[in-house]
Structure 1
Amino acid sequence: MDLNLRDIRAFVAVAQTGSFTRAAARLHLSQPALTVQIRRLEETVGARLFDRNSRSVALTPTGRELLPVLQKSLHDMEHVLIDARALGDGSSGTVRIACLPTFAASVLPELVQQLRKAVPRAGFQVRDVVASMVNTLVRNEEVDIGVTGGELTDSALEVLHASDDRLVAVLPKRHALARRRRVTLADLAGVPLVLTAQGTSVRAVVDGAFDNAGCTPQIACEPTYMMTAVAMVRAGLGVTILPASAREVRAEPELLVRPIDDPAFVRPIALIKKRGRTLPPVTETFVAALIERLGEGAAGR
C-alpha cells in the first residue's frame, strides 16, 4: 500500500496538536474519519505511531523517528501540488520558442517583458535560428512553438497564425540607387548583391523572385546573419535585401532603405506548433499576445 498525502497530513496534525480532537478540527474532519486515516498509515508503515489513552496522545518511538521524515515529505508534496496547479492554470511555466533572428531581435523582447509583467513566474527558452531549423525544432518537440518564414509544407506542423514581412533593399547613401524612391527587380539585377545564405527564408524569397523573372543575381557575398550583411553593405560590397521589420535595417544611419516595387519580395511568416500537441497554458497566453502583435504589424503595412 502506498503512502497517502491525506494520511501523512493527519499524522502530522495529531503529532503537532497532541490531540485527535484538535487535529480533526484543524483538518475539518470528523474524529472517526481522522482515526481511520491514522490507522491506515500505521498499517502502511507496519507499526503503531501513537500511544493513546483517555487523557493524552503521545508519539511512539517509531512515530518520533518518522515525524521529521514525514513532515519533510508533506512539505515537498504540497509544494509539488502548488507548482503543478500553477503550471495548469498558467501562472507558471516555461515558454519554449524557436524563431527567426529578425523576430528575436525586434518583437520578441517586448513580448517577453509583457508576459513577465502578467506572469512573473514565467520562464523563456529562446532559440533564434534560420527558418528550416525553426521547423525542425518544433517538429522534434525541442520547442513548443516557432515563428518561421517561407512557405510551410510540413504536414506535421500546424499554423496558428499567418502573416507576411515585406523585403526592402538596404544600400549606402552614395550608391547609384540611392536617388530612387523605390527600386525594381531590374535595378537589383544590375548591381552586386549581398544575400543571406542558402537555407534562410529571406534568400528563398529572393531566389524565387529572380527565378520567376528569369534573372540571375550578381552575388558578391553570402553571409548567414543579417548583421553581417549590413556590415558588408556598409563596407561598399553591394546592396542587401532584408525584411523591413529587421532592426538591423533601422540601426544604420549611414545606410538607406528603399522599398522594392515587386510583389514577389514578400516573406511569409507563420506561427507554428507540432500538430496534435497541447500547448502549456502559459504558452497559450503568450501565443495570444503574439498573434495580436503579428496582426498589428500586418495592419500597419
Structure 2
Amino acid sequence: MNFRQIECFRAVMHTGSMTLAAAQLHTSQPNVSRAIALLQRETQLQLFERVGLRVVPTPEAHALLKEVDRVYVGLQSIGHAADRIRTLGVEGLRIAVTPGLGISPVPRILQVFRGLRPRVQVVVHTADSATICKWVSSGYYELGLAGYVALPQEVDTELVHSERAVCIVPRGHRLARKRKVVPSDLAGESFISFASSDVVRIAIDRVFDPEVRRLEIETSLATAACAMVARGLGVSIVNPAMLSELALTGVHALVFDPAIPFECHVVRARQQPAQALVADFLEAVRIVVGGPENTARKKVSRSPG
C-alpha cells in the first residue's frame, strides 16, 4: 500500500467516479483503476462493486475512508504548520524585557519589526535583568533586552544602547532653572528611588552621601517614579527615554553629574540555532537604538565561571 493508492481511493470516494477522480488527480482513468485494484489486493478488502457503469463503495470502503480522511486532516495540518513556520517562524517570537525598556524603546522596536514581519505573533514578558538572563539561557525566550548582564550565565550579549541618566524634578521646583545638578543640590529633597536590588539604584547610591539624602519612597517601576515626581512627591534620577514616551507635563529634566548610564543589552543563548525572526528583530533594534550617533556597541560572550 502506498500514498498514491490511498490518494486515488479517497478521490473516488469523494467524487463517486473513477473518471472524475482521474481528472481531479490530473491522471488517466486506467491509472486510477489500477491503483484501486492494487489497494484491494494488498488490503484484501472488496472496496467497490460495479453496478452497471458505476462503481459503488462497499461498507468496508466507507469504514476505510474514515481512517483515510483522518490521516489527510493530519497531513493538511502538517502543511499548514510548515506554512506558518516558514512565514511566522517557530511559534512566533518570545522576548523578555525589563519594565523600563518595555516602555522605551521596545514599543518603537516592535513597530519597526511589525513592518518587517507583519503577521508574526510576538510575546513580550517583563522581568528584572537577572531573571531575563536565566530565561534566555534556558531557551525559554529567543532573546532578551536587559539593563545589565547577570553572571554567570551561558549567554551572548551585546550593548546596543547607553543613555545618560537625568534628574527629574516637579515643574516649578527650586532646581528647575538650573542647567545641571550634582548630588549636593539634592540635599534635603525627598528622593524617590528604585528597588535596592536594582543595578542602577546601586550606581546612584554610590554618588550620594547617605547621611544627607532623604530616601522616602522606593519603587521598582520607573514609570511610577516619574508619575510620583509629576505629583510633587519628590525628585528622582531616571532614563530620559522614559520621559519622551510618557509625555509627562509636570516634570522637568536636568543634566545630572556625575554621569550614570542606563544601558540596553541584547541577550541571546549561546549556541542557539540561527532563526530568521530573531535576525529581523535585531535589525529592528539596530534601526531604533543602534545608530552610531547614539550608542557604543560591544559584543561579549558570557559563560559560567
TM-score (norm 1): 0.78
**Which amino acid in the other structure matches residue 248 of structure 2?**
E
How far residue 170 of structure 1 moved from its aligned partner, in angstroms, is 0.8
State how 1:69-148 maps to structure 2 within 5 Å.
Answer: 69-90=67-88, 93-116=91-114, 118-148=116-146
Unaligned runs of 5+ in 2: 296-305
**Which amino acid in the other structure matches residue 103 of structure 1?**
L
**Which residue does the alignment assign to 2:269?**
274
Verify the 8 A CA contact 1:193 1:221 in the aligned structure 2: yes
State how 1:20-99 maps to structure 2 within 5 Å.
Answer: 20=18, 22-24=20-22, 26-28=24-26, 35=34, 39=38, 43=42, 47-51=45-49, 56-90=54-88, 93-99=91-97
**RMSD over aligned Cα, in angstroms?**
3.6
More helix per residue: 1
How far residue 156 of structure 1 moved from its aligned partner, in angstroms, is 0.9
How far residue 178 of structure 1 moved from its aligned partner, in angstroms, is 1.8
Matched-pair identity in %: 25
How far residue 146 of structure 1 moved from its aligned partner, in angstroms, is 0.8
Higher mean displacement: 127-136 or 215-224: 215-224
Instruction: Write out per-residue CA displacement over residues 1-42 of structure 1, whole angstroms, 9 at most, x where no aligned residue.
Output: 9xx766543332232344556545533567659855884698
1:245 alignment partner, SS class: helix
How far residue 181 of structure 1 moved from its aligned partner, in angstroms, is 0.7
* Structure 2: distance between partners of 1:283 and 1:38: 51
TM-score (norm 2): 0.77
2:194 alignment partner, SS class: coil
Residues 290 and 284 of structure 1, relative CA distance in 2, 3 Å threshold: same
Residues 151 and 111 of structure 1, relative CA distance in 2, 3 Å threshold: closer
Residues 180 and 282 of structure 1, relative CA distance in 2, 3 Å threshold: same
**Which residue does the alignment assign to 1:253?**
249
Do structure 1's residue 292 and structure 2's residue 287 form an aligned pair?
yes
Residues 250 and 112 of structure 1, relative CA distance in 2, 3 Å threshold: closer
Number of corresponding residues:
292
2:175 alignment partner, SS class: helix
Unaligned runs of 5+ in 1: none
Q: 2:224 aligns with which of 215, 228, 241?
A: 228
Residues 295 and 120 of structure 1, relative CA distance in 2, 3 Å threshold: closer
Provide runs of 4+ in structure 1 moved above 6 Å.
none
